[in-house]
Amino acid sequence: MLTNGNANRNRNTIKDVLDKGILMLKKANNEAPVIDAGALLCNLLKKDKAYIYAFGEQEISTEQSEVYFQNIIKRISGFPLQYLTGHQEFMSLDFLVSEDVLIPRQDTEILVEKAIELAKMKGNDQIRILDIGTGSGCIAISLAYYIPNSLIYALDMSGKALMVAKNNAEKNGVVTKIVFIEHDILNLDLNDSFFQDGFDIVVSNPPYIPSEEIKTLQIEVRDYEPLSALDGGEDGLDFYKSIVDLGKEILKPSGLLMFEVGYNQADDVVRLMKEKYTEIQTVKDLSGIDRVVVGKG
């Protein structure tokens, strides 16, 4: 009887492991312990949330539980959940993410949705779109997926980021609609062949955090997401200034330049665009913050 009792106490069930994970996260003041613990376990077991609750008494291996609690400890340290699971949903598509790319965010969907809306107004001819600073490819791939007549050029200075983006394009079935280009965003050469035919839309979610503010960001962002995807220079506007000048040179007549902007940056970006662009407009995010700036070249 004692042997059986010890055996039962040593069992690793889905419910036991999940409950312990939730408790560990709660004690560490994690903001969403139930969600994070469940997501990590679902990812580990390759099962959905309904499964882990329906089959809570099912045993899992000691090796699996060890990996799970290692990930719980990483999450407690501030390691982003998306990097632990390797996935993030964006525009109802599944994206692979790694520490080489910025984690796609809901705010950026505002930019993509506006680009899709404006692209549809341009008719059925092929629409050439340049995505500057593509990262995971979430913008470029979403545009390729939802705009049937699009050809996307996705540019990034990081070869590692472009590998992630290419994998995401394959995963979402649009790899034949996207040209991936490794290039320094701040030192683009207008003689490059892909610029020659011009673009109907240039879109970018560039690094826009002022350098001195990076140290004030939450730990998940500051310590784990790539600095090159965050740092926008002293005033946060370095990339906007460069892309505003570039866009005027490479946009087709009546082409559109579209930016995502940081909190309280919309007025500055509008000011940068006023001399070279017309019909400038801003679009608010779900919190009522001006998140997107659009201008016609």
Give per-residue pLDDT as tens, 118-156.
999 988 899 999 999 999 999 999 999 999 999 999 999
The rounded percent of the chain whose pLDDT value lies above 90 is: 87
Element (H or E) spanning 19, and its range? helix 14-27
As a whole number of angstroms, the distance between CA 49 and CA 42 comes to: 6
Cα–Cα separations (whole angstroms), residue 281 to 75, 107, 274? 40, 17, 11
In the chain, where does the domain assigned CATH 1.10.8.10 lie? 2-77
1 pLDDT band, cuts 50/70/90, is: very low
Cα–Cα separations (whole angstroms), residue 77 to 24, 28, 74, 83, 215? 12, 9, 5, 13, 17
Residue 189 pLDDT greater than 60, yes or no: yes
* 80-102 tens-digit pLDDT: 999 999 999 999 999 999 999 99
As a whole number of angstroms, the distance between CA 277 and CA 70 comes to: 52
Total-model pTM? 0.91
pLDDT at residue number 202: 97
pLDDT at residue number 192: 74
In the chain, where does the domain assigned CATH 3.40.50.150 lie? 91-296
The residue count of the chain comes to 297
Residue 197 pLDDT greater than 70, yes or no: yes
As a whole number of angstroms, the distance between CA 227 and CA 102 comes to: 9
The rounded percent of the chain whose pLDDT value lies above 70 is: 96
DSSP lists the bridge partners of residue 155 as 132, 181
Question: Please, what sign has the CA dihedral across residues 197, 208, 159, 175?
Answer: negative
* Residue 122 CB coordination number (10 Å): 17
- What's the CATH code, domain 2-77? 1.10.8.10
Of 201-205, 208-212, 223-227, which one has max mean pLDDT? 201-205
3-state secondary structure of 216: helix
Residue 5 pLDDT greater than 80, yes or no: no
Residue 6 pLDDT greater than 50, yes or no: no
pLDDT at residue number 152: 97
Q: Confirm or reject CATH 3.40.980.10 for domain 91-296, answering yes or no.
A: no
* 214-271 tens-digit pLDDT: 999 999 999 999 999 999 999 999 999 999 999 999 999 999 999 999 999 999 999 9
Residue 9 pLDDT greater than 70, yes or no: no
